[in-house]
């Protein structure tokens, strides 16, 4: 059992990851001596260094800080760190306590009232929305989010009062979410994904069933209407559904788009909550917000607090993130990396900007995911008017023969399609008369965002 209160020093391998950096910030705030390694510098590691957390970027044992008392030192690593990594091997050889991020998050949640948000899509948005609604109410919370909140500029929220609520993004990758035993949980989607971990879609569904079984007695599972939940895994909890399009326990109704915002009411077991205004775009975010409002109401946030706070919600970086809009051209950056996510984002753009031309830049993430969902990627990208497909971001994987960006392009029916690399940007955009531009993907495509914004601000004739 992890006893974080007995730890003085924390060292994180992969500290620049969104989940790892939240833990680094938490332990730094708690007064621990925190430092870490990451493969490359990023805006997030720059922020950590500015906050007083040392970070180095070379696999060099001489750069590891002095770790004197093993029993009072905790090493946290991400599965993205390869087994042959020299620092990890040395720490193991010297018998340090080495834990996965999910194990530490599970330990931190043990004495909290944990609200865990799981699902193959939408969990970061629901997590951030839930944390925002709680934080802006009298209830408050601590929150570990899988993205950077634009309202707070961070992925970690700490309570201003004595709130015992903890909001945590529950990641299905590497079965991480099975470290959590929440009071309440959300399941957004259970589409096949991470088949490199689970092997089959059935195994993934079984993992979500186990997760459901870990909800504490008398707790709550909130699930998106249409997701098939096997209730036999836990008969001692309450089940609620949510939707923005179907009959459900919590349902967004009377949805209208006016002046670029969504206006709707919430129908729920608490009655009808009227006059909700969401300025953050995307129909999928109306549904995500429905889940977040359900959790907020179930945890004592008042309807008046929700109606007052929702208009000021600013979203999450890289989730339908409008980075540029000069009245003629719009540039949106999104983390979508699964066919279902791409489809939802592109359709939301069509809904928000009807009749306009959409140019999309997509970077596939993982060779296995590209191989497993190539048909779905092709179908989703065919919803664009113009498509540029970058080379695959490998992350933790070795190349698979025959699996590359061309595999997707060959399946696409779209006439205006093109293979490209990161080196082509932003100059390649000179070839396009841009109207609505999207960047899509979970790899390092985010490094193109600032150069593209600079290109658009530079007055290029697009």
Unique residue bearing structure tokens 């069933």: 209
Give 459's pLDDT tier (boundaries 50, 70, 90).
Answer: low
Q: What mean pLDDT value characterizes the chain?
A: 92
Q: What is the largest CA-CA distance in the chain?
A: 64
Element (H, E) at 185: strand 184-187
Q: Is residue 106 part of a domain?
A: no
User: Are 271 and 385 in the same domain?
Assistant: no
User: Are 265 and 342 in the same domain?
Assistant: no
CA atoms of 106 and 85, how far apart (whole Å)? 25
User: Are 372 and 447 in the same domain?
Assistant: yes
Instruction: Please identify, among 271, 295, 312, the residue that sits at the C-terminal boundary of a domain.
Output: 312
- In this predicted structure, the answer to whether residue 194 has a pLDDT above a threshold of 70 is no
User: Are 37 and 140 in the same domain?
Assistant: no
Contacts (Cβ under 8 Å, ≥6 apart) of 155: 18, 19, 21, 22, 25, 144, 145, 146, 147, 148, 149
Q: What would the two tokens of residue 446 be?
A: 């985010």
Give whichever of 97-106, 192-201, 265-274 has the largest mean pLDDT.
Answer: 265-274
User: Are 306 and 157 in the same domain?
Assistant: yes
Instruction: Please identify, among 312, 345, 378, the residue that sits at the C-terminal boundary of a domain.
Output: 312
The structural domain count of the chain equals 3
User: Are 200 and 326 in the same domain?
Assistant: no
User: Are 80 and 196 in the same domain?
Assistant: no
Mean pLDDT calculated for residue range 65-70: 76
User: Are 196 and 256 in the same domain?
Assistant: yes
- In this predicted structure, the answer to whether residue 357 has a pLDDT above a threshold of 80 is yes
Mean pLDDT calculated for residue range 273-300: 95
User: Are 238 and 334 in the same domain?
Assistant: no
User: Are 80 and 189 in the same domain?
Assistant: no
Q: How far is CA 357 from CA 101, 279, 354, 457, in A?
A: 42, 22, 9, 20
pLDDT recorded at residue 201: 85
Q: How many residues does the chain have?
A: 462
Instruction: Please identify, among 312, 333, 348, the residue that sits at the C-terminal boundary of a domain.
Output: 312
Q: Is residue 11 part of a domain?
A: yes
Could you tell me where the beta strands, DSSP code E, fall in 235-288? Answer: 238-243, 250-258, 261-268, 271-278
Q: Strand 330-334 relative to strand 321-325: parallel, antiparallel, unpaired?
A: antiparallel
User: Are 192 and 272 in the same domain?
Assistant: yes
CA atoms of 269 and 97, how far apart (whole Å)? 46
- In this predicted structure, the answer to whether residue 255 has a pLDDT above a threshold of 90 is yes
Q: Is 427 helix (H, G, I), strand (E, B) or coil?
A: helix
| More reliable by pLDDT, 2 or 338 | 338
pLDDT recorded at residue 2: 60
Q: Is residue 347 part of a domain?
A: yes
Percent of the chain exceeding pLDDT 90 equals: 72
Which residues is 316 bridged to in the sheet? 149, 319
- Tell me which residue range forms the domain holding 197: 112-312
- In this predicted structure, the answer to whether residue 395 has a pLDDT above a threshold of 90 is no
User: Are 264 and 407 in the same domain?
Assistant: no
What's the CATH number where 95 sits?
3.40.50.720
DSSP symbol at 393: B
Residue pLDDT, tens place only, 258-270: 887 999 999 999 9
């Amino acid at each position: 059992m992890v006893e974080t209160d007995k730890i003085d020093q924390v060292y994180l391998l992969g500290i620049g990851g969104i989940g790892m950096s939240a833990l680094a910030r938490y332990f730094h705030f708690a007064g621990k001596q925190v430092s870490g390694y990451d493969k490359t510098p990023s805006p997030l590691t720059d922020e950590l260094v500015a906050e007083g957390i040392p970070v180095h970027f070379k696999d060099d044992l001489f750069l590891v800080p002095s770790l004197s008392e093993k029993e009072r030192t905790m090493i946290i690593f991400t599965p993205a760190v390869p087994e042959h990594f020299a620092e990890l091997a040395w720490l193991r050889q010297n018998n340090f306590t080495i834990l996965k991020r999910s194990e530490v998050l599970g330990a931190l949640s043990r004495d909290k009232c944990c609200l865990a948000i799981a699902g193959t899509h939408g969990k970061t948005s629901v997590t951030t929305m839930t944390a925002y609604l709680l934080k802006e109410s009298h209830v408050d919370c601590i929150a570990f989010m899988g993205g950077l909140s634009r309202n707070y500029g961070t992925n970690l929220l700490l309570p201003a009062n004595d709130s015992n609520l903890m909001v945590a993004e529950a990641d299905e990758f590497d079965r991480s979410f099975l470290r959590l035993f929440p009071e309440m949980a959300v399941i957004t989607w259970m589409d096949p994904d991470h088949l490199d971990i689970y092997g089959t879609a059935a195994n993934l569904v079984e993992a979500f069933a186990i997760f459901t079984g870990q909800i504490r007695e008398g707790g709550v599972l909130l699930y998106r209407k249409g997701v098939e939940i096997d209730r036999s895994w836990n008969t001692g909890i309450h089940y609620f559904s949510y939707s923005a399009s179907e009959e459900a326990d919590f349902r967004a109704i009377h949805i209208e788009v006016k002046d670029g915002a969504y206006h709707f009411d919430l129908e729920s077991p608490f009655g009808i909550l009227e006059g909700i205004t969401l300025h953050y775009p995307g129909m999928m975010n109306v549904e995500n917000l429905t889940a977040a409002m359900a959790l907020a109401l179930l945890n004592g946030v008042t309807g008046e607090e929700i109606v007052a706070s929702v208009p000021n919600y600013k979203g999450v970086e890289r989730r339908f993130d409008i980075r540029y809009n000069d009245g003629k051209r719009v540039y949106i950056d999104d983390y979508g990396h699964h066919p279902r996510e791409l489809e939802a984002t592109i359709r939301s753009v069509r809904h928000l900007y009807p009749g306009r031309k959409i140019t999309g830049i997509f970077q596939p993430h993982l060779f296995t995911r590209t191989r497993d969902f190539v048909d779905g990627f092709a179908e989703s990208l065919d919803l664009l008017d113009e498509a540029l497909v970058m080379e695959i971001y490998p992350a933790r994987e070795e190349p698979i023969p025959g699996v590359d960006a061309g595999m997707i392009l060959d399946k696409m029916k779209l006439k205006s399609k093109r293979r490209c690399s990161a080196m082509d940007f932003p100059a390649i955009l000179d070839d396009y008369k841009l109207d609505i531009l999207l960047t899509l993907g979970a790899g390092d495509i985010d490094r193109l965002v600032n150069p593209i914004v600079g290109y658009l601000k530079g007055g290029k004739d697009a």
